[in-house]
A and B are shown apart, each in its own frame.
Chain A
Amino acid sequence: MYSVINVDIEKCTGCRTCELACSLHNYGECNPSRSRIFVVRDQDEGLITTVPVVCQQCEKPLCLNMCPAQAISRDPETHAVVIDEDKCLGCRTCVYVCPFGAPSVDPRLGVAQKCDLCGGSPSCVAICPKKALSYVGAEEESLRRKRTRVERYLSVIGTRG
C-alpha cells in the first residue's frame, strides 16, 4: 500500500520548518519561496490559523491529466505524481487546475515543481516537530480520521452511547 503526506492542521503550529527542510533538501538552500510545501498563515484579529499546503498525490490528478506537455506521470514505486523537468513547458496549467494550488513554477528553473515525496522518505515529515505531517498509508489515515472524529463527537455530545 502506498503512502501520502497527511496534514493535521490542528497540530500545526505554523513553524514552517517543513518549508526550510524541503528547500534545503531539494535545492541546497533555505528558501521558503522554493519549497514544495507551503504553510498558509492567517492571523487576523489575533486568531492564528496555519495550514500546510502540499500535494496530496490525487488518485485522479488534474495536473497529470491536463498537462499539455504530458510531463506529469505517476511514479510506480512511491505513487507520487512527478514532473519530468525536461518536458515541462512552465505553462502553469498544473498550478491552475490543482485543487490545493500545490505546484508552483520555479522562477530560476522555469519549470513546474511539486512534492515528489523525496523518493519515499519526505524530509518535511521527518522534521515536523509537532507531527502535524505524517507519511502513512492513505487508507490507514482515512480510518484514523474516522476514529478521531468520533472521539470528538462523543466528547461534544457528552455521552458514549
Chain B
Amino acid sequence: MSQLYGGKILWIDLSSGAVITKDTSGYARNYIGGRGINARIMYENVGPQTDALGPQNIIAFGTGPLSGTLFPGCSRTDVMCKSPVTNLIANANVGGDWAAELKYAGFDHVVLTGRAEHPVYLSVRNDIVELKDARHLWGGTTWDTQRTIKAELSDPEVKVLCIGPAGENMSTFATVHSNVGNSASRTGVGAVLGSKNVKALAVRGTGGVAVADPDAFFEACVAAHDTIKGADYYEELATLGVVQAEYAYVLSGIEAGSDAHDGVRDLDPQGTTDYPAFWKEYGHKRTGCMGCPVHCMENYDVPGHGSAVMSCELYTQLTWEVRNFDMHLLYDLVKQCMLMGIDNTSTATMIQFVMQLYDLGIIDESLTDGIRMEWGSKEAIHGALNAMVLRNTEFGDVLAQGMKATAEYFDSRVPSERRGGTSTYEHAMQVNNNPMYGINPRMNAMALGYAIGRRSDCITDLDTNQFDTITAPIYPGWTEEHRLAEVEYNYQTARDLTGLQNAGDPESLEGKAQIVHDMGIHTGLSDMAGTCKWHTKWLFLDLRPEHYAKALTAGLGREVSEDDLLRASLRMRHVERALECKMGRRRENDTIPAKEFGKPVSRGLWKGKLGVTREQLEGMKDEYYTLRGWDLETGVPTAATLHEFGLDDIASDLAERGILPGWTGEDFGR
C-alpha cells in the first residue's frame, strides 16, 4: 500500500474475462487521481469512432488520493466514458461510500472494457476479484440489487454501485446508483454500464489508507473541516438543508423553473410546492455521504409513499419543469427515478420538451403512444417516465434515445407547417443534446458555464460559477440587511479574484469569464482529489487549494504545492478539451439554445433584466478561450498550450488529425 493511494488500477476486459492491474503511480504525479486520471485514460482509449454503447467504449470509476481519508467529503467516485447522450465525454460523479471502500480494497480505479456475454456483477473483496453471474439480478431495482448482493455475499458492509432497469435497457439517461439516492446521474453512464452487461460493482475492503505523517495529516484534515464549518453558508446548509436553499433559489428566479422554458410565470399558484413545509411534515433525518460535514441530503418517510431521499435539484426538476405542483407526485417520481436508475434532471427536461410540443399543438397523442402530454398531468409524467425506462413502446424507445432522436422522430412525422417551418429540436432545452438543468441560462455567467462546460450542463459541472446565482437568494427568514451583507461579501470575493469592480454583479459581463475559468480549476481540484466539489468555494464552503496541498503534502510525505495542483487541474481540463475536440467539438458547439438569447428573466430578483445575447456570450467565450489558451477560432487547445502542460503527445495526435491550431509542422519529439 502506497501513501494515500491504493496503488493499483483494476483493468477488466469483460469480453474475455481477463483481469489485470496497472500501477497508479504512472498517472498520479501529473493527474493526481479521480477525474484527472480518468481523463488521461479516456484520451488514450476512446475517440470519434468509438460507439458509446458498443464494447469498444470503456468506462472508468476513479477515486482520488483523499478518498476514504479524514479529509472532508472523501466520498467521491468519478465516472467517465464516452457519452451516448452527447457523443463527447460522459462524466458523472457519485458520493456515498463506494470510493472509500475501493481504496480500502487496495485499488484507485476500476476500468471496464468490452462486453460480458451475459449479465454479470463485479465483486472485489480486497485482492479477490471476480465476475459473478447477475442474470438473476437483471430487471431488479437499484435498491433490491444492492440488498440481494449484500445478502448473497453475506456481508452487509459491501458497498455497491449498480444500474436499474433503465441502465439495462440502455436508456441514454440511465444512472449508476448507490445507497439511497447517491447517483452518478448525467450523460448516460448507466446506459454504458448496461451496454456492457454489468449490473453492479460490489466492493469490500478492510485495508486502510496510509499516510506519511499521521499527525500533520490529522491536523490538515481538521483544519479543512473547521474551515467548512466556519464558512458563511455552512449554517444554512447544515441546519436548514438544501431544501431551504433550493426554495430560496426558486423564489429568487435563479432556478429557472418555468422561466427558461416559456412556461408558467406564477411562482406557485396554489402554494403547494413549499419544499420546507414538506420537509417539516415528513422529514426523517438529514443524511449525506461519507466524511461530509454538510450532509446535504434529506431522508423522508411519507405515509403511503414510503421512504426516499431528496436533495438539491430534485426539488425543482419534476415540479417546475413539467408544471407539477403536487409535492407527493414529485416525491413518487423522484423515488421512481432512483429505483429505476434514471436521471431525474434529464427525465424532467425530456418530458417538458414533449409537453411543450404537445401544448403548442405541434404533436398529438398519436405520437406519444396515446398519452395526453398535458402540463402537470400525473398520468403523462408517469407514463413518459416508465416508457423511457422500459422502452416498451415506440414513444418510450424514442425518448430513451435522447432529445435529438426524439426531435427527428417528430420532424419526420409532423408536417413542416405545423412546426412553423423549423425543427422541433429548436424547442429542446439542450446543449450538445444534453438536457439542461433548471438553473437559468439567461444569466450571464450561467450561459457561459452551460456553453463551455465539458458535459454541457452547469451545476455539478465544473466550468461554472455560482457567484451571480447565489449573490442574492432570498432565504426564508433572512432580513434584507442580512441578504445585502451576503451580497456584498460575494461581490468582494469576485472583486478579489478578478480585480474588477463589478465582477460580482449579475448584470455585468465584467470578469465573468475569469470567474468561470477560475471556478473550473478549483472544482477540478476536488474532482482529482476524490472529494466533493461542494466544499470548494463553488458553494462558498471555502476549501482552498492550500487545504488540498497541505493534506496531500502530509499524506504523501513530499511537498505538493498549490501551484502543482492548480496546474494539474488545468492540465486535466486541456486533456478533456483535446479529447472533446478529437471527437468533433468546436467553438460553435459551445452555446445555449438559440431561443434563449436575449430573453429577460421573467420573475424573481432580476425580473425583466439579464437575458444574455448571442454577441455577449461570444464575447465571454473569447475571454474564456484566451484565459485557457484555446484557439479563438476553433476552441481547440493550441499547440503552445499543450506543450506548456507537457502534453506534446496529445498535440501530436491532434496535429495528425489536422485539427491542431497553430501547428507549424514540428514533430513534438515523438
Which A residues fall within an 8 A CB radius of B?
10, 13-17, 20-21, 23-25, 27-34, 43-48, 50, 107, 123, 126-127, 129-130
Contact = CB atoms under 8 A, between A and B. Distances in A.
Contacts of B284: 47-48
Most chain-A Cβ atoms within 10 A of its Cβ — which of B211, B289, B299? B299
B69 A15 contact: no
Contacts of B289: 15
A66 B70 CA distance: 35
18 contacts: A10-B285, A13-B292, A13-B295, A15-B288, A15-B292, A27-B208, A28-B214, A30-B211, A33-B206, A43-B180, A44-B143, A46-B307, A48-B180, A50-B285, A127-B70, A129-B229, A129-B295, A130-B286
A-B pairs, top 4 by smallest CB distance, nearest first, are A31-B208, A129-B293, A46-B307, A28-B214
A13 B297 CA distance: 9
A50 B306 contact: no
Contacts of B286: 13, 130
Most chain-B Cβ atoms within 10 A of its Cβ — which of A15, A21, A50, A126? A15
Interface stretch (B217-225, B346-354, B453-461, B557-565): B217-225
Nearest to B286: A13
A21 B70 contact: yes
Given A15-B288, A32-B104, A33-B208, A20 B299 contact: no
A15 B207 contact: no
A46 B208 contact: no
B307 A29 contact: no
A25 B309 CA distance: 33
Contacts of A28: 210-211, 214
Contacts, number: 115
Contacts of A107: 206
B209 interface: yes
B200 to A, nearest CB: 16
Contacts of B293: 15, 17, 129
A34 B205 CA distance: 12
Given A29-B214, A30-B209, A47-B299, A20 B287 contact: no
Nearest to B290: A16
Contacts of A27: 208
A28 B4 CA distance: 12
Interface string B276-307: 00000000111111111111000101000011
A10 B294 CA distance: 16
Interface residues of B, number: 46
Contacts of B285: 10, 13, 48, 50
B149 to A, nearest CB: 14
A29 B307 CA distance: 36
B143 A24 contact: no
B397 interface: no
B147 interface: yes
B335 interface: yes
Contact of B335 (A17, A46, A123): A46
Given A29-B208, A30-B209, A48 B70 contact: no
B288 A13 contact: yes
Given A31-B209, A127-B222, A48 B291 contact: no
Given A25-B218, A30-B68, A15 B208 contact: no
A15 B208 CA distance: 17
Nearest to A28: B214
Nearest to B206: A33
Interface of B: 68-70, 72, 74, 97, 100, 104, 143, 147, 179-180, 206-211, 214, 217-218, 221-222, 225, 229, 238, 284-295, 299, 301, 306-309, 335, 338
Contacts of B295: 13, 15, 129-130
B139 to A, nearest CB: 18
A17 B70 contact: yes
Given A21-B70, A44-B147, A47-B299, A30 B287 contact: no
B209 A29 contact: yes
A48 B214 CA distance: 32
Given A15-B288, A15-B295, A48-B299, A127 B225 contact: yes
A43 to B, nearest CB: 5
A24 B104 contact: no
Contacts of A29: 208-211, 214
B180 A46 contact: yes
B208 A45 contact: no
A13 B339 CA distance: 22
Given A29-B214, A129-B295, 15 more contacts: A10-B285, A13-B295, A15-B292, A16-B291, A17-B292, A20-B291, A27-B208, A30-B208, A32-B100, A33-B206, A33-B207, A46-B307, A46-B309, A48-B307, A130-B295
A24 B214 contact: yes
A15 B72 CA distance: 10
A30 B291 CA distance: 11
A130 B222 CA distance: 15
Most chain-A Cβ atoms within 10 A of its Cβ — which of B208, B229, B301? B208
B353 to A, nearest CB: 29
Contact of B309 (A20, A48, A126): A48
A106 to B, nearest CB: 11
Contact of A48 (B208, B225, B287, B338): B287
B208 A43 contact: no
B209 A46 contact: no
Contacts of B307: 45-48
A50 B287 contact: yes
B143 A45 contact: yes
A21 B229 CA distance: 16
Most chain-A Cβ atoms within 10 A of its Cβ — which of B70, B218, B221, B306? B70
A123 B289 CA distance: 20
A30 B70 contact: yes
Contacts of B292: 13, 15, 17, 129
Contacts of B229: 129
B107 to A, nearest CB: 15
A132 B299 CA distance: 17
A44 B145 CA distance: 11
A132 to B, nearest CB: 10
Contact of B207 (A31, A44, A123): A31
